[in-house]
Amino acid sequence: MAGSMTPRLTRANLTAPSLAHFSPSLPFAVALSGGADSCALLLACVQRWPHQVRAVHVHHGLQAAADEFASHCRNLCERWSVPLVVTHVDAHPLSGESPEDAARQARYQAFSQVLETHWEGSIKDLALAQHADDQVETMLLALSRGAGLPGLSAMPALAERGGLRIHRPWLDVPAQQLRDWLLQEGVSWAEDPTNQDQRYTRNRIRHQLLPVLALAFPAFRQTFGRSARHAAQAQSVLDDMALIDLQQTGIPPQLAALQQLSIPRQANVLRAWLSQRQVSCSTAQIDQLLHQIDACRTRGHQIDIKVGDGFVRRVGGHIDWYNF
């Protein structure tokens, strides 16, 4: 249960990783898994904002050690006088759903419910302990899937989800720095045995690819993080442009107005329109739709394309999405 990694303190008297750019409304909550990263974040927040921190532990019930994780979180919070809520979820994946996605969705739903019901909605800020290594892994996963700018933006430092403000204050902090600091502070953590299971793609990246990147590009955590921020900024510009173009095309989009735009702008505005409808679409579906829009120059040309769990169809001079 204790942090079993060999101490690798790089200098005497390590200080806590900075929280200078983290400004939550007080009080706020920390998502506490019991692992090194979240233990470090909870300790740093308690030191920075004593008596203003709450903790939420999500008990997934997916492995034998789950009860030990919860017990470790209780012990830490009792030691540091932090109010803790342990909530149980069913994180078993549905058919066709990855275990990681199922667990992630269950966690976020649990966070929202706990903060709304247990503290009666008085807490709107939640801090997550994802760090620079997590950010790189997320980017590499996005690259492996051929993701666009939203995927390459990886995880934002601040986001809104389910009525919560989600903070990730340590996206520029290496994982080892957190562990080194905990070792110096004499704080133990729970080691999740699944983190060593290389059947999971993220674990293969962590154990096989990141060490190679560190040898070839020692500053890769900083440079990848900078690229993620550039991608997020570029996506923000595209989002603004899509709103401008939607004013021109109308909602639902008019075919003649769409055809006045360049192909990249058509693709951008179509994604924005479908996103507003909460429709998930693939690149292949957008490409097919663009081809049909370009070919739709006569009154008799029809469009009927599967997009997401519905269809985009031509209705007179415009297109619309239907789910039936």
44-89 pLDDT, tens digit per residue, is: 999 999 999 999 999 876 677 788 899 999 999 999 999 999 998 7
pLDDT at 314: 94
Note the residue count of the chain: 324
**pTM recorded for the entire structure:** 0.87
Q: What is the mean pLDDT of the chain?
A: 90
4-11 own/partner pairs: CB under 8 Å, 24+ apart: 4/191, 5/179, 5/183, 7/180, 7/183, 8/176, 8/179, 8/180, 9/180, 9/183, 9/184, 10/180
Residues 275 and 264: their CA atoms lie apart, in Å, by 16
Domains delineated in the chain:
28-223 (3.40.50.620), 250-322 (1.20.59)
pLDDT at 109: 84
pLDDT at 47: 96
Does residue 128 sit in helix, strand or coil?
A: coil
Confidence of residue 96 (pLDDT cuts 50, 70, 90): low
Residues 108 and 92: their CA atoms lie apart, in Å, by 15
Instruction: Give residue-wise pLDDT tens across range 1-41.
Output: 544 333 344 445 688 899 999 999 999 999 999 999 999 99
Instruction: Give residue-wise pLDDT tens across range 170-204.
Output: 999 999 999 999 999 999 999 888 778 888 888 99
146-152 own/partner pairs: CB under 8 Å, 24+ apart: 146/283, 148/283, 149/231, 149/232, 149/234, 149/235, 149/238, 150/235, 152/227, 152/228, 152/231
pLDDT at 5: 39
Q: What percent of the chain has pLDDT over 70?
A: 92
pLDDT at 111: 87
Instruction: Give the residue from 103, 109, 116, 134 showing the smallest Cα distance to 29.
Output: 116
Inter-residue contact 29 to 115 (CB < 8 Å): yes
Confidence of residue 231 (pLDDT cuts 50, 70, 90): very high
Instruction: Give the residue from 281, 300, 303 showing the smallest Cα distance to 292.
Output: 303
